[in-house]
Amino acid sequence: MTQPSRPLSERLRDHCRHLYPDDVVARIVPQIIAMVDDGAAHHKGAKTPVLDERSVLLITYGHTLQRPDETPLQTLRQFIDQHLPEMSYVHILPFFPYSSDDGFSVIDYLMVDPALGTWADIAALGEDRALMFDFVLNHISRESVWFADYVSNHPPGNQYFIELDPDTDVREVVRPRSQALLTPIYTRRGINHVWATFSPDQIDLNYANPDVLLDMISIFITYLNKGASLTRLDAVAFLWKTLGTRCIHLPQTHEVVKLLRTINDAVRPGSLLITETNVPHEENLSYFGNVIEHPEQPGEYIGDEAHLVYQFALPPLILYTMNRGNADLLTNWAQSLAPPPPGCTFLNFTASHDGIGLRALEGILPEHEIASLIDSMQQFGGYVSMKANADGTDSPYEINISYFDAMMGTRRGPDSLQIERFLCAQSIMLVLQGLPAFYIHSLLGTPNDQRGVEVTGRLRSINRKRWQWDELEQVLETPHGAQHLVHHELRRRIRIRQQYPAFSPSSAQKIHDLDSRLFIVQRGNGEESVWCVCNTTAQDVELPLVKILHQMEGQALDLLTEQHHALEKSVTLLPYQTMWLTFE
């Protein structure tokens, strides 16, 4: 006999008991229940999308595309409708009023930046596709009302931040940046020093204060009510602070993610949580949580934290593979991946609004190889950002470069195969198990924006170009131009992928290790399988088909070229060619 599901109130109480004393739990749980009930009523009967082979995510800033006499969000919607209708999910990077970091220093969580548009524009974007919102929950802008309250010593903000003596030993704290952890602030009480993990303008919130948690839960539920089918928990790994620890991945942080998962599933069943944790690979996977029995469906099992985690190791591993012309490291890593827990999957990407993170390579790639890769990227116009270490030294944190220009050549230097190499890199990402995510500049083949770096003084601006509509339309319509070729070929491959259930996130995956020059992925089982073969070199590679298709009969069909191949023969893959082989 199956056990009855546990009441929501009991599950919420259990989460909170891992965070606060019993008297605090008794106070806050009824307030959380009331917020959840109100949110659930808002979504009663609403449907949310299901992840399958048709699911593809677009990542973009709200102001990436601009045209006179309309809001950038309106322009974005028209561009997606006309040029990217294949996108089933759209991640609009923070669209709130902000003071720095291109949106990740939020001034007002509940307002759309007037420079971008309105909540009505957000709703319009979500009419024909699912939306992903950023929940920037670790820190807030020093220009926010809460921080103004802190400076003037007014509640509630005067208790919302972490204040420390400047002589406090914080060397153990993991830092993703190179500046000091504690930021001096002039207040009515004098100069105080507050915790700022990312920058002096991004002040960390104090979740040891339960009122901070209550306010952030209210904001989270508002996002669900406003149309977030997928919510990205930004920089969540740093959420809870305890001096004497590394202040990353603490048990309380994981418990907050579990709490948000419970709230998410109760308010808007089917909506998804994704954790953004740019850390070594095994640490990243911890945000799937534990496998538990489904609280509402006894006998079924799920992960109890994020539905998705970013595959942060993938962008630098693919980059290294294409730069070296050797797939061994990528193959070995992919073979070592354990399947995600039930109901969970990976978010696969090669590029994002940030740089190409290097922390995920720790323990995978030797330091001298990372240094050599950085040298190559600098030759292609890129930069490197640093992070602070506990011993007072700095080390590379991310490479700042357009992913298209990162494919300008190999370790030997630039060559004429940039487009082919880039398409191969994107195809590897597109076929791996999970939800594929394309940064808009990858779909446009956008090169390095050196002028953006000069104007802003920020290295990440190299990959955050703002296109004028007319300029972009012109390059996309230039028949033999790089942007035209990349844009149309990637869209074509996405459409092909969307026709085959073997590419569903829930479909099986097997990595074949047959040739150091080839990356080979089998998706699905039996005759419904698709074998994806990628030549990662600048040379022709001959592959006897019987090596991978020895259990099959008949002819193989390459979905990308529509050519048939006899199984007893070999195929020759041109430099950086990709084949998707199946059977008719």
Domain residue spans in the chain? 139-204, 508-583
Question: How far apart, in Å, are the Cα atoms of 375 and each of 42, 412, 457, 579?
Answer: 53, 11, 21, 31
Give the residue, 179 or 495, on which the prediction is more confident.
495
The b-or-e profile of 333-349 (16+ CB within 10 A means b, else e) is bbeebeebbebbbbbbb
- What is the token pair recorded at 89? 């999910």
Q: Which residues are catalytic?
A: 234
| pLDDT of 360 higher than 80 | yes
Q: What is the tens place of the pLDDT at every residue in 448-460?
A: 999 999 999 999 9
Give the mean model confidence (pLDDT) for residues 475-483: 94
pLDDT interval class at 1 (50, 70, 90): very low
Give the mean model confidence (pLDDT) for residues 527-545: 95
Give the residue, 389 or 187, on which the prediction is more confident.
187
Give the mean model confidence (pLDDT) for residues 76-89: 97
pLDDT interval class at 2 (50, 70, 90): very low
| pLDDT of 370 higher than 70 | yes
Domain 508-583 sits in CATH 2.60.40.1180 = yes
Q: How far is it, in rounded angstroms, from Cα 54 to Cα 75?
A: 24
The b-or-e profile of 432-457 (16+ CB within 10 A means b, else e) is bbbbbbbbbbbbbbbbbbeebbeeee
Give the mean model confidence (pLDDT) for residues 331-336: 96
Q: Number of C-alpha atoms within 13 angstroms, CB side, residue 387?
A: 18
Give the mean model confidence (pLDDT) for residues 191-203: 96
- Residue 96: the pLDDT is 98
- 244 conformational bin, left if phi > 0, alpha if psi -120 to 50, beta if neither: left
- Residue 569: the pLDDT is 87
| pLDDT of 527 higher than 70 | yes
Q: Whole-number mean pLDDT of the chain? A: 94
pLDDT interval class at 554 (50, 70, 90): confident
- Residue 387: the pLDDT is 80
Q: How far is it, in rounded angstroms, from Cα 245 to Cα 266?
A: 33
Preceding amide of 72 cis, omega within 30? no
- Residue 394: the pLDDT is 81
- Residue 4: the pLDDT is 54
Give the mean model confidence (pLDDT) for residues 306-326: 96
Give the mean model confidence (pLDDT) for residues 303-311: 94
Least confident range from 39-43, 472-476, 505-509: namely 39-43
Contact between residue 532 and residue 520 where contact means Cβ atoms under 8 Å apart: yes
- Residue 247: the pLDDT is 96
Give the global pTM.
0.95
Using the structure block, give the residue that is written with the tokens 């609004």: 353
Q: What is the tens place of the pLDDT at every residue in 15-29?
A: 999 999 999 999 999
Least confident range from 47-51, 165-169, 526-530: namely 47-51
Give the mean model confidence (pLDDT) for residues 284-292: 91
Share of the chain above pLDDT 70, in %: 98
pLDDT interval class at 555 (50, 70, 90): confident
| pLDDT of 392 higher than 90 | no
Give the mean model confidence (pLDDT) for residues 554-569: 91
- Residue 46: the pLDDT is 63
Amino acid identity, position 158: N
83: β partners: none
Nearest Cα residue to 359 out of 295, 423, 299, 283:
283
CATH of domain 139-204: 3.90.400.10
Q: How far is it, in rounded angstroms, from Cα 96 to Cα 63?
A: 12
